[in-house]
Amino acid sequence: MPVDLGVLSGFIVRLQREADISHNENSFGANYSGILSSTSRAILNELSQLICEHAITSIRLQVDGQDEAWDEVDFSDQRMLDWVVSVTDKAALLRDSLAINVDIDGLLFFDKVYFLESWLPEVSGLLGGELHQSLQSERPLKIFLCGLEDSFGGPRIAIVPTSKYDQVLPVEWMMSTKLPNLERLLKSVHFVTGNAVMVSPERFLFNWGAVDNAIAIYFNKACVVYAMISLVQEFYGWDKVVLKGRRKLELSVCDNELQEFSKRDIDAVIACVEWCYAESDEETRTLLVVDRLTLDLKDDQALIGAVRLVFAAFAEARSRYKYVVLDRKKDYTKELSDIQKDLSGVVDKYVSASHQFTGSLLTDVLALAFVLTAGVVSRRFIAEDALKSPEAIVLFKSFSIYLVVAVILRFWGAISVSLISTKLFKDWKGIVRSHMSAEELQRIVDNSLFSVKVNFWITCVVVFVIYVVMALSCWNVELTLDLFGVLGR
């Protein structure tokens, strides 16, 4: 039976509220200590029953400086004075209550004041700097907080009251958005430093629940900051990013102060980044936005200062993009036309090589026919058994060697001309292309040359086989003539 996280955290909070109790907490555990009183004895007794019932091992007890087992302590014993309760593994408590699983990370906070005044501004990294490891993960994150009234959050993060830890979250939870994932960000932004940990701005997006509160302000800033980072060209660190537009600007990302952004500014930044990464043409779209930002930003401003400029830059970028697309479409059509013309030259090379190879076969067949005619037609030549003479054998074997050398040179020449012309075409077009990807160019070339290449290789193979048969026939001339009945006449 799973642990009731609401009841368990309620006992911890009641202990914390005792006037004579000291406590401290961090991301992974918490410690509570004090002198036994009637109130603390009652709370510890109830907590002990819960721990023993569920065999919880991540909450330890010390009494008068000695480690004690929860089921062996009688809290009504007046001889006991000092006590210490240590929560050694908060994640284990979340697993015991089935609040998280292997696909969802979780954090647990008993002290709301610690969470708001220490963890969010100093530990989380949400104000800029190295993120807490739970926020670096790609898995969704649930943060369970004692004293919270209602849940709120976004597609990748949820802030949940411990009293409602098992409630079903809205459909927006775990629902993907159009914001870019980490893989696309790493392809678009050049991270010069190896210490930077980049995550998608979707990680910090809040879009469901009562998000107008002190907690959401931290995540809103992080969402905006990481969204703005996705628009830069180079990231060296939090003190230096590079925007390359109409001007090249080197800016710091932000300061470590908490800033509250209006819903209009947040929505504008999110919509802008979604538009920039909506299709494969993110480089052009991002550049159009950055062009405007670099003109309006001052040299001494931080990147976060561009947030108020995004709305106007986004509107201008969408307007300019229509004309850019039209111009690129014209250039693309012209580039396709040039490729078709150049491809026709490659096709001519294949056809010419194929014809030359076939023509050489006909020439050598005529030469062989002449040798056979001169040696076979004459009755006297046959009568005197001249075809069986050493001289005739040498003649035919020499012609066989000629055929072998001829087919190798001509076969190599035909293939070399065809392959070299294709390679030169691909290399040149790969350099001068500006409106299509390498994959698209390769697809066009493969589709255009497929039938030509098939015809070329079939011709080469057939002619090569005929040459081999002719060469073998000449090398074994006695057997060949005997098969045709020439020597038997």
Tell me what pLDDT residue 415 has. Answer: 72
Tell me what pLDDT residue 271 has. Answer: 94
Tell me what pLDDT residue 274 has. Answer: 92
What type of residue sits at position 275? W
Is 147 exposed, middle or buried (CB count within 10 Å of its CB: 0-12, 13-18, 19+)? middle
Q: What is the band of 377 on the pLDDT scale with cuts at 50, 70, 90?
A: very low
- Specify the residue for token string 């004690």: 68
Question: Dmax of the chain from CA atoms?
Answer: 139
Q: How far apart are CA 226 and CA 461, in angstroms?
A: 60
Q: Under 8 Å CB-to-CB from 231, ≥6 apart: which residues? A: 243, 272, 273, 276, 286, 289, 290, 293
Answer whether residue 245 shows pLDDT above 70.
Answer: yes
207-236: string of b/e by CB count within 10 Å (b at 16+)? bbbebeeebbbbbbbbbbbbbbbbbbbbbe
Q: How far apart are CA 183 and CA 26, in angstroms?
A: 32
Tell me what pLDDT residue 379 has. Answer: 42
- pLDDT tens digits along 25-42: 999 999 998 888 888 888
What crossing angle do the helices spanning 282-296 and 307-376 adopt, rounded to 10°?
Answer: 150
Bridge partners of residue 87, in order along the sequence: 30, 59
Q: How far apart are CA 355 and CA 234, in angstroms?
A: 55
pTM, full prediction? 0.68
Answer whether residue 326 shows pLDDT above 60.
Answer: no
Highest mean pLDDT among 151-165, 178-192, 232-246, 363-377: 151-165
Tell me what pLDDT residue 378 has. Answer: 47
Nearest to 156 by CA among 145, 170, 142: 142
Q: Under 8 Å CB-to-CB from 296, ≥6 apart: which residues? A: 306, 309, 312, 313
476 in helix, strand or coil? Answer: coil
Answer whether residue 246 shows pLDDT above 80.
Answer: yes
Residue 258 gets which letter from DSSP? -
- pLDDT tens digits along 84-142: 999 999 999 999 999 998 889 999 999 999 999 999 999 998 988 788 999 988 899 99
Is 367 exposed, middle or buried (CB count within 10 Å of its CB: 0-12, 13-18, 19+)? middle
What crossing angle do the helices spanning 438-475 and 390-432 adopt, rounded to 10°?
Answer: 180
Give the pLDDT mean for 170-199: 83
- pLDDT tens digits along 152-171: 999 999 999 999 998 999 99
Strands (E), 302-342: none
Q: Would you say the C-alpha torsion 151, 153, 154, 156 has a positive or negative sign?
A: negative
pLDDT mean across residues, the chain? 80
- pLDDT tens digits along 192-220: 866 556 788 999 999 999 888 999 999 99
Q: Under 8 Å CB-to-CB from 249, ≥6 apart: which residues? A: 242, 243, 294, 297, 299
Nearest to 221 by CA among 172, 269, 160: 269
What crossing angle do the helices spanning 282-296 and 263-276 adopt, rounded to 10°?
Answer: 140
Q: Compute the C-alpha angle 244/249/251, nearest 5°.
A: 125
